[in-house]
Homo-oligomer: A and B are copies of this chain.
């Protein structure tokens, strides 16, 4: 997974029917910006783990999303 920071959110009224009810967060990871479905309850400024690809879709009940927040990072330890 990638670690990213939640920087915003996205609103869309015209979308795939099966995306109804999904929350979309903007997540910055390195110098890339992705939009991820969120079911963990992350908010602005949170550091999160992003799963991408089919994995994310399966986690979101097969919705057509390719990125999902799967955890909010408490601590990242350097060892």
Q: Which residues of A contact B (CB under 8 A)?
A: 1-3, 6-16, 19, 24, 26, 30, 32-36, 39-41, 43-45, 49, 51-59, 62, 64-68, 70-79
User: Which of B7, B71, B77 interacts with A16 by CB under 8 Å?
Assistant: B71
Query: Is A76 touching B10 in the complex (CB atoms < 8 A)?
Result: yes
Using A76-B26, A77-B9 as known contacts, say yes or no to A54 and B53 having CB atoms under 8 A apart. Answer: yes
Query: Is A14 touching B76 in the complex (CB atoms < 8 A)?
Result: no
Cβ contacts under 8 Å, A73 to chain B: 10-12
Query: Is B8 touching A79 in the complex (CB atoms < 8 A)?
Result: yes
Closest CB-CB distance, A49 to chain B, in whole Å?
6
Query: Is A54 touching B54 in the complex (CB atoms < 8 A)?
Result: yes
